[in-house]
Structure 1
Amino acid sequence: MEALDYAEKANEVFVLSDSFIRIKQLIDDEASTIDDIADVILLDPALAGTILKLANSSFFNYPGKIDTISKAVLVLGITEVYNLVIAYFTTKAFKEVKAEPEFLEAFWENSVDCALIIKYLGFQLKVPNAERLFILGLMHNLGELVMQQFAPEQVKKARQVASNELPWQKQRDIFGFTFADCTGELLKLWQLPYSLIEPIRFQDEENFEHCTMETKLLFIAKRIMLMNHQCQQHEQTMILTEEKMQEMMLKVDNVNAANNFCDMERLAILAILKPSAAMIY
């Protein structure tokens, strides 16, 4: 089976709700107003509560209080609220994945770490609207959950990476494709924006020549996250080369600062999106 085959199976199991589809339709419709979008969000109290918690968190650092969904859309912008909606429904869709709690806790911690790191690096490099990068990090590895659902034994083998192996190469050896490939196929089936799909699909692309800034940042952020988790025993240069750092005009101080930011914000984001994962802290 190929990545698309697994994604198609996952699309039948991990379904985005009707609320998400309606919100997407409104956002795609230029005639829709802020109030139209807010009204649909309010039909799902859990979604509305999650958006307000995130909007008022230090993640956005908005100086005032955002106490209505309409204000959230107005202050953060439609695109950013849409990203928060995607984040909410994605974590909800995978709620019933067949996996041990420890696996899921580690998975979401890694995903949130990658999301926070890419957001921080975006700010450091003065990328416009760097908050939007968060969703790329959060969703970059959903393919692992897909494969965990349908091929858990192979996933277990793929996660056992020796210090002379790279995770994405091990995945390709075992499955014939990477978790990134599977993630990209699923997001395409979910009809999410290409601006999300492209960086995630090409997150392991070594040649930066034709890559977007978002793809390059995800490449870097993912590797910084891996050095803190799955690849702690690897030589740093094997995971992230000095050449790639220089190409992005990043230094060791930027990496350290990104990790510090991640350590400060991780628990708050986990507590909102995945409370069960936050409990390990």
Structure 2
Amino acid sequence: MFDSDSVVSLSNRVYRRRQIVNRVMLTLSGAAVAFGLFWLFWIIITLLTKGASALSFSLLTQPTPPPGADGGLLNAIVGSVLMAAVATLIGTPVGVLAGTYLAEYGNRGWLAPATRFLNDVLLSAPSIVIGLFIYAVYVAQVEHYSGWAGALALAIIVVPVVVRSTDNMLMLVPNSLREAAAALGCPKWRIITLICYRAARSGMITGVLLAVARISGETAPLLFTALNNQFLSFNMNAPIANLPVVIFQYAASPFEDWNRLAWAGAVLITLLVLGINILARSLFRNK
């Protein structure tokens, strides 16, 4: 005979066990989130505590000073903006076109899967390796450091981020939109530019913004390419100042005024990266 009471009691035991497991896992998940947020807030509070006092108008209007003198980070900010802008202009079209090929033309054959695999490898490659690569193929050949070399290194970092975001966003565009446009006689390239790009626009722009946020704080590749410059310079064919390298050098110096400028530069980069991430997630969240 089938005992309904035993089934109920068994189901109750199973339910209680699952409820306990669920509570344990929720507790562990919450603890992991709290652990990660603790370090994030600690880093931000430490940066603001040590760097907020050095934030001033002169920080944005004066170049880096010699030890014991007053100054700012104008030349480093200008150099970082120039190299990031050039890297974005170089890396974004390459990444968008490569991601478009993967999503729209790479449905068959071995090239698209191999490209995705290599792109993932490049996406996770240490930035210092990229800096050494540009040093070997460019800096060593022209025999001088330059802003162009730094921009090329940063562009290589931009490309895989844009490729991944473009590929993923275009893959999310429903095929029914493509089929409807093709049924009306629209050529493939117009389907991509007028329909697919518009549908995936928010995600693609978000990927570009996240790539800019990533290259804003890269130090290792610039040590082998752009190096540094103590003066305000717009010459991209010569060593040029940049915030990550200035922070690296000033933080390791024995001079307290340089240490304060290093903390101030770290605050500027942190606020920039946080601002770009917040902008990317809020501005295009519902589009």
Q: TM-score, normalised by structure 2?
A: 0.24
Q: TM-score, normalised by structure 1?
A: 0.24
Instruction: Find the structure with the greater CA-based Rg.
Output: 2
